Amino acid sequence: MGSRQKGFTLIELMVTIAILAIMAAIAIPNFSEWVAKRRVASVAEKVASQIRFARAEAARLNKPVYLCPVQIKTDGKPDQYCKSTYAGSGYTVWADSPEYDQEFNGGEKAGKPVDESLRTIVMNKSDKQVKVRYQIKNVGFDGKDIKAEKDAKILAFFPDGSIKRYSVDSTGAMKVGYPVSGFTKFTFTDNEAKDKDTGERRAITLLVSGGQVSFCANSDSRPACKYDVDLTSTTCNKYGGC
């Protein structure tokens, strides 16, 4: 009796390969989308943690605490505090001196914190490794822009629980402070998104109001949660700050 050959026929092998190719074509895009969404969510969660931390530290230290953009140097250390040029590189929390009224009302530069740097997070490692774009807007409960506070990018937390937003120029000079009204809206999306629809699918929206931080769920019907900006075409700096 001759030996029997075991294995796949050519047709069976081709059918198997075709099925695997179809499954890969379905799974890989979904997996890539999931990875991109998680990358954005990771940065958004870091920023949310910074906001909660700043609020708690203001009460603990009994002094004003600020959250603002910072440059992340190649050695991982923060530099160039509160300059809008570096929005997207990192976010730092720092405590100010008791003379904060004179500093900010006089329009002086924030420069490096005069008291203590509390905690810094990395958003995009460098201008060559931008993974996430983001934008801060100040909106009312109806979701519409608050024009007077349009460029107020810096969050200031005070010991009494109040919050103000300050505008800042590229040199780090603080301008007028506005009490928080409505929401400070952070919108994050994937830097690799090539069109608005993709950017919206991968976007995470974070709202700050009254010291509370909340994320917008996909089903959230609040006007402020609407994805109303195309970060794929918006002019952003080289660190992903838009």
Phi, psi angle pair for 84, to nearest 5°: -60, -20
- Identify the pLDDT of residue 24: 64
How far, in Å, CA of 122 to CA of 131, rounded? 11
Q: What is the pLDDT of residue 149?
A: 65
d(Cα 93, Cα 70) in Å, to the nearest integer? 10
Extract the tokens encoding 2. Answer: 């001759």
Local structure of 212: helix, strand or coil: strand
Structure letter (DSSP) for residue 162: -
Torsion of CA 96, 88, 172, 185, to 10 degrees: -70
- Looking at residue 191, its pLDDT comes to 92
Q: What pLDDT is attached to residue 151? A: 66
Q: Give the architecture (CATH level 2) of 35-225.
A: 3-Layer(bab) Sandwich (3.55)
Please tell me the predicted confidence (pLDDT) of residue 146: 83
pLDDT in the model for residue 2: 54
Residue type, 67: L
Domain ranges of the chain: 35-225
Strand partners, 68: 92
Distance CA 152, CA 135 (A): 12
Q: What is the pTM of this model?
A: 0.80
pLDDT of 169 reads 67
Strands 132-139, 152-157: pairing kind = unpaired
Mean pLDDT by 10 residues, the chain (242 residues): 62 72 64 85 95 95 92 88 89 77 47 70 89 91 81 86 82 76 92 89 89 89 90 86 90
Alpha-carbon separation of residue 84 from 22, 57, 60, 209, 225 (angstroms): 47, 23, 28, 22, 24
Residue 94: CB atoms within 10 A of its CB come to 25
DSSP characters over 25-51? HHHHHHHHHHHHHHHHHHHHHHHHHHH
- Those residues whose C-beta lies under 8 Å from the C-beta of residue 153, and which sit 6 or more positions away, are 68, 69, 84, 87, 136, 165, 166, 167, 168
